[in-house]
Amino acid sequence: MADAILDRTEPVASHDSWLMGISMNPRLLIRKAIFVGVLFLFSGTHNVLTILSPGGAPPPDPNSAAAEEAVGESQQDAGAIPGPLKTLIWCAIGGLMAASQIGKVFKLAAEAPALTGLSLLAVASVLWSDNPAESSSHGLSLVLSTFLAYFFVAEYEPPEQMEIVVIIGWIAVIGSTLVALFLPRFGIDQVYNTGEWRGIYAQKNACAAAMLLFLAPVFARKLDLRHLGSALFGLSVLFVLGMTQSRNGWVVAFALIATMIALRWLARFRVEDRRALFLVAACLVAAGAWVMTTASAELLPLLGRDATFTGRKGIWDAAVAAIIDSPVLGYGFHAFWTGPNARSKVMYGVAVVQHAHNGMLELALGLGGLGVALFLWSFFKALRDIGICLRPDRPAYVDWYVATILAVVYFSVAEPFLVLDKSLSWVLYVVSCVGLHRQAEALRRESRRLDEFSDAADNPRDQWHRNEWPPDYVADSGAIGEP
């Protein structure tokens, strides 16, 4: 039991493949296959039926309003399934799955008030929305997406969750590669930025965003000769990410890898030392942000960008002006950019783009400062839980949770990637926040139990602060959980 708890590098079994853990129970296999299909078809892919249908139209030109809408609308492209029908299918399947674990789902909803409150606020925004129909549809979808994430946590253990994400990742990587090679009019940009891959996605940045989510499980495994399957998956994801030629995706991938390496290094230190190092790291990040701001004209060309971030700065300025005009509640979830009388066109002169090219600005436009506050509550709570869980003996899936949260937040700097309905990014963000909180709560319970022995001769509390579990004290109550 002690070995199972302390071994962070083998979350499923002693073999390498994530897929070896799949149950052979036909009923469970069918249930899992349906769940994989729901997350795959409604999480940002270009409509597969469009690609396969005779005479199907390619994705929109990447610089057109249709392509902008594809990214803004949960990175989805209008395809063979009409939007209302797609939403109905999503609601029906997601709702039925969540209902099958209704007790556990509501318990998890109560344990995550910030995430639950944010999704309910999206529905409530109908009351003040500039476009009530859009806010109602997307708000309901966000609630169901959140509850589907709770179902994911209730139905599957963390190793199974990673397994499902990897399965979807393999489908996306192989599908995008095949479409780019054999159906290039769908999978490769032929007009504006020739050669950029978008695969089964509507736009290159949507493809890059998906690859970053699929890269996250790789951090839960050691990439050595004993884990060739994990290494192959990681390299395949990076290959597709590289072929998108998305500078945003490249920068985020580099930052994500660097951050995870740094966190693994920090985990070796005592808790007190780690706090000091965190403070130093925060100062370095702040200094780097200041340098980037003051010397952007010189630094951005090195990354293939101009000082306006490829025109994003003008959009950000217009978004900030709109937020100042309605700072508390915003304009309604998904309402600012939509409808014939959309504020973005009528008042702020932004007629082509369909989103703010920044996750936090997009959230503020839709749900105002209240929505931003709820998201920041969930994020800082996750950071606190990361600080608690960041131990040498942590289960492998903790690294997956951390990498997923960071990937979502990092990519949201230049894309609307934070709070999206019918989106794999939001589902996995919720799963990661909830999973980290449960792990942190388990460690807190163990800390309280160790306090009971604080007067013992071999003070276990000292070993806790040295990031070690007492050799004769193993959690036998399931508090930590099998990795």
What secondary structure does DSSP assign to 399-417, as a single string? HHHHHHHHHHHHHTTTS--
Q: Is residue 458 part of a domain?
A: no
Q: Is residue 302 part of a domain?
A: no
For 59-63, 257-261, 269-273, which range has the lowest pLDDT when averaged over its residues? 59-63
Nearest to 209 by CA among 159, 161, 244, 257: 244
pLDDT (tens digit per residue) in 107-145: 999 999 999 999 999 999 999 988 888 888 889 889 988
Structurally, how many domains does the chain consist of? 1
**Given pLDDT bands bounded at 50, 70 and 90, which one contains residue 39?**
confident
Based on the number of CB atoms within 10 Å of its own CB, is 347 exposed (0-12), middle (13-18) or buried (19 or more)?
Answer: middle
- What's the start-to-end Cα distance of the chain, in Å? 11
pLDDT over 80 at 279, yes or no: no
Q: Is residue 322 part of a domain?
A: yes
The CA distance from 25 to 31, in Å, is 10
Residue given tokens 């007492």 in the structure block: 470
pTM for the complete prediction?
0.81
With beta carbons less than 8 A apart as the criterion, state whether 163 and 19 touch: yes
Residues 6+ apart with CB under 8 A from 277: 266, 269
Q: Is residue 168 part of a domain?
A: yes
Q: Is residue 249 part of a domain?
A: yes
Q: Is residue 150 part of a domain?
A: yes
362's tokens: 């997009």
Q: Is residue 377 part of a domain?
A: yes
pLDDT over 70 at 272, yes or no: no
pLDDT (tens digit per residue) in 192-247: 667 888 888 888 888 899 999 999 999 987 765 566 788 899 999 999 999 998 88
Angle at 370 between CA 369 and CA 372, to 5 degrees: 60
Q: Is residue 475 part of a domain?
A: no
- Across the chain, mean pLDDT equals 75
Domain region containing 54: 10-267+310-440
Residues 6+ apart with CB under 8 A from 119: 139, 142, 143, 145, 146
pLDDT over 70 at 364, yes or no: yes
